[in-house]
Structure 1
Amino acid sequence: MNTIKTIAARAFLISAGAIFYINPAWALLPIQHWTEPSGAQVYLVESPVIPMVDVQIDFDAGSRRDPAGQSGLASAVANMASKGVMAAGGDAALHENALGEAWADLGASFEANADRDALHYTLRSLTDPALLDKAARLAARQIGEPSWPADVWPRDRARWAASLKEADTRPGTVAAHAFAAAVYGSHPYGARTTEETLQRIGVADMQAFHQRHIAACRAKVSIVGAVTRAQAQTLVATLLARLPASADCATPLPPVGEISALTAPAEQDIPFASAQAHVLIGQPGFARRDPDFIALLVGNHILGGGGFVSRLTNEVREKRGLSYSVYSYFAAGLHAGAFTVGLQTRPDQAREAVQVSRDVIARFVAEGPTEAELRAAKDNLIGGFALRIDSNKKLLGNVANIAWNDLPLTYLDDWTKKVEALTVADVRAAMARKLQPGRMVTVVVGGQR
């Protein structure tokens, strides 16, 4: 073990020094893609400058797969990955604390989390063979052989429920829940995890969910780091080796329905004793793989995503002083994640702030940006592109995005060219195709009636 720690310390010093020599042309490094015999799809970027590798393994096991009445199940499965592993294949069982110590000894890290669309496992390790093999084998046990300790889940469930209860005392949480319910309706994107839904989740439910969704043939594996394709293949095989070979991968997971478009505007004015009124305005947006994505990214940057230079900030904050901060964004996913405009304001100013925001949205959708606004947005986004890929971890996120959404392997190489090629007409048409200002949801929590 001392030898491993010595290797880890030496490799860490090498990697720390190498940070100052990161290749600025990472976007030009090719993404290699292949399918393993197990069915796992692999996406690799060889980045040899730092002796480190980052891995993300994604499964279609996000909260959109939670059964009705058991919202929170996917997140519970991810959470339990760190609570212990079973004894198997000659390896002794490890409890929660022992796992933490094992990762500390390796100088590596492993995490699991679930979002709306996917359950993610992430590994970061130095690439020294003595370390990487041990890290991969330990990660494989957490992916494939969690111990599901029955005494741990009630403890964590109680903590989670207490956290949810506390969050519900905040106006921002109340607004977010009401907004999601109004925008998504009965779609899983709008499902809310509560103390009641957590009480319906047991260890057996987590085991069944894991068995159904976490299989090698369903994995999308993204890798960035100092490994060759041959080394990456060995790494992937090791990481997925503890998953059962008998998973029913011939049967696809059932489809999840799409989000219904809003047919009429809706307003909710929710009383709340708060110094600030919380305002959310929006509608279902679009899926991440939509061909309009880049035009909408640029359009939203001008509308409300560009901070102090956005139209919403200029009209709501600078001209009228109605809010310190106002923003807009598209939460694109496998389904049409919400378009959202958000702000906080004095309760007596809420109505005016809402009206001004609606007017700005409607005018922008009708007219589009000016040439000057488009030029400034292009310069800002293209100039900041390098910051999106200036570390292995950031590049991994981009590669995983390409893998998960079936984007072209040249997506990063083409990104700046596509942004530069956009015209005012392109942006205006894309925003008009996606946004319906007259049919949006408005939620105000704590406003003055």
Structure 2
Amino acid sequence: MKKIRVLGVIFLAAVSGLAAAGPRIEHWVAPSGARVYFVENRALPMLDVQVDFPAGSAGDPAGKPGLASLTHALLDMGVEGLDENGIADRLADLGAQISGGVEMDRASVSLRTLSAPATRGSALAVFRAVLSTPQFPADVFEREKARKVASLKEALTRPDTIASRAFWAALYPGHAYGRSATPESIAAIARDDLARFYRTHYGAGGAVVTIVGDVGRGEAEALARELTAQLPAGAVPPPAGAPGPAAGGEQRLPHPAAQAHVLIGLPALKRGDPDFFALQVGNYTLGGGGFVSRLMREVREKRGFAYSVYSAFLPMAQEGPFQIGLQTRKEQAGEALRVVREVLAGFLAEGPDEAELLAAKQYLAGSFPLRLDSNRKLLDNVAVIGFYGLPLDYLDTYVANVEKVTAAEVRAAFARHVRQENLATVVVGGE
């Protein structure tokens, strides 16, 4: 136990140093064409690897929303030479983990393993098979498809799911970001669709490999080369196009729940937009700063309309949403909505005052090292830099970019990205 505590102290000290200066990110292109991003971290004998592909749900073909998610789910449920139980047993014996997820723009597959060469080599062999030789077994495919249909039917009874789906559809009508899976679209997917989607979207040319941990540059180069050598070849699928102009409007959807779910927003921010830091600083004051935000003060503390209310920007490859969300008793949904709109209008007109601006910058700059205090967090941040093509010094300059934001820049950025006449509003369960 004492040894574990000592290792923990050493690890925290090491990653704190990385956070203060920003990690040294090395970048190159593997022979396969995959882009590679590497951070050497010798604090603990651990290795984290993530491979991102342009295989998010925005790549679902028309008529088959849910295909990206189902394809990703079956990657580690049967590979050349191993069934799903064999994969699970092999990883358990090694103490390794394979995980991942599907977002709108990307699908991620991650490995965590000890860095000792023998253990690492065996774990990477399984990981390579998952990436390069998924078999999509017919019986597993039918089982997982049935599970997804059942899960989706249950989710579609919940007001939060109904509100989220209606919100994205309202913000992105006719666009890939606005499509959602249905029980019918999942049922229409065939096993051949998974194999086709894999060949199109999991190619080496679109792959981004992120490596963080206890290996050197030469080992990282060999690792990336081996992981991506057998990935499908072919053209990188085109990204989703830009969304059309936000139409705004309001939808009220009935639901018997006692609480009304309210979402307000519009397409607002792409990754890499120069207004990102001004919007982040301003949003802390508006609704991103918890109890110190204006929305929380006016909606919860003064009026008791909601336990929680928030605002957030979700940058993506194309303009991701700015959104405000809350839950409130259905009989007071209209009044809560009125207050939210008034607070937003006031902020758009005034921006933050000097005290609010200082508090926002102090929090965002002061808490930034906590975003880099583990291998996993480093991996997440570097993977975003790699996939979205952000500058390699993005983490080094983050605090300086926050600290130089002015109140005038916040007002100007919000004026460019958040126009009240274009806001879409969804209320599920309100009277």
Normalised TM-score (structure 2): 0.96
For 2:352 and 2:282, locate their aligned partners in 1 and report how far apart those are by CA, in whole Å: 7
- Answering whether residue 179 of structure 2 is matched by residue 185 of structure 1, we say no
For 1:299 and 1:144, locate their aligned partners in 2 and report how far apart those are by CA, in whole Å: 44
- Answering whether residue 430 of structure 2 is matched by residue 444 of structure 1, we say no
Once the 2 structures are TM-superposed, how far is the Cα of residue 447 of structure 1 from its aligned partner?
Answer: 1.0
Once the 2 structures are TM-superposed, how far is the Cα of residue 366 of structure 1 from its aligned partner?
Answer: 1.5
1:177-232 superposed Cα distances (whole Å, 9 cap, x missing partner): 11111111111111111111111211111101111121222211111111111000
1:132-183 superposed Cα distances (whole Å, 9 cap, x missing partner): 1111111000101011100111111111111111111111111111111111
Match of 1:248 among 219, 234, 241: 234
For 2:15 and 2:380, locate their aligned partners in 1 and report how far apart those are by CA, in whole Å: 17
Once the 2 structures are TM-superposed, how far is the Cα of residue 23 of structure 1 from its aligned partner?
Answer: 3.1
Match of 1:33 among 27, 31, 34: 27
For 2:388 and 2:101, locate their aligned partners in 1 and report how far apart those are by CA, in whole Å: 18
* RMSD of aligned Cα (Å): 1.6
For 2:388 and 2:408, locate their aligned partners in 1 and report how far apart those are by CA, in whole Å: 26
SS of the residue aligned with 1:82? coil
**Structure 2 gap ranges (5+):** none
1:97-155 superposed Cα distances (whole Å, 9 cap, x missing partner): 11101001111111232211011111111111101111111100010101110011111
Over the matched positions of the two proteins, sequence identity in percent amounts to 48
Q: Which amino acid aligns with 1:416?
A: V
For 1:365 and 1:141, locate their aligned partners in 2 and report how far apart those are by CA, in whole Å: 52
For 2:348 and 2:388, locate their aligned partners in 1 and report how far apart those are by CA, in whole Å: 27
Once the 2 structures are TM-superposed, how far is the Cα of residue 22 of structure 1 from its aligned partner?
Answer: 3.3
1:61-82 superposed Cα distances (whole Å, 9 cap, x missing partner): 1111110011111111110012
State how 1:228-307 maps to structure 2 within 5 Å: 228-244=216-232, 247-249=233-235, 252-263=236-247, 265-307=248-290
Name 1:60's counterpart in structure 2: 54
State how 1:30-179 maps to structure 2 within 5 Å: 30-86=24-80, 93-179=81-167
SS of the residue aligned with 2:52? strand
Once the 2 structures are TM-superposed, how far is the Cα of residue 438 of structure 1 from its aligned partner?
Answer: 2.2
| Change beyond 3 A, Cα 1:311–1:60 | same
SS of the residue aligned with 2:138? coil
SS of the residue aligned with 1:24? helix
For 1:133 and 1:224, locate their aligned partners in 2 and report how far apart those are by CA, in whole Å: 16
**Contact map agreement 2:149 2:187 (CA 8 A) in 1:** no
Once the 2 structures are TM-superposed, how far is the Cα of residue 243 of structure 1 from its aligned partner?
Answer: 2.1
For 1:318 and 1:206, locate their aligned partners in 2 and report how far apart those are by CA, in whole Å: 50
For 1:23 and 1:258, locate their aligned partners in 2 and report how far apart those are by CA, in whole Å: 38
Name 2:313's counterpart in structure 1: 330
Once the 2 structures are TM-superposed, how far is the Cα of residue 21 of structure 1 from its aligned partner?
Answer: 4.0
For 1:194 and 1:119, locate their aligned partners in 2 and report how far apart those are by CA, in whole Å: 20
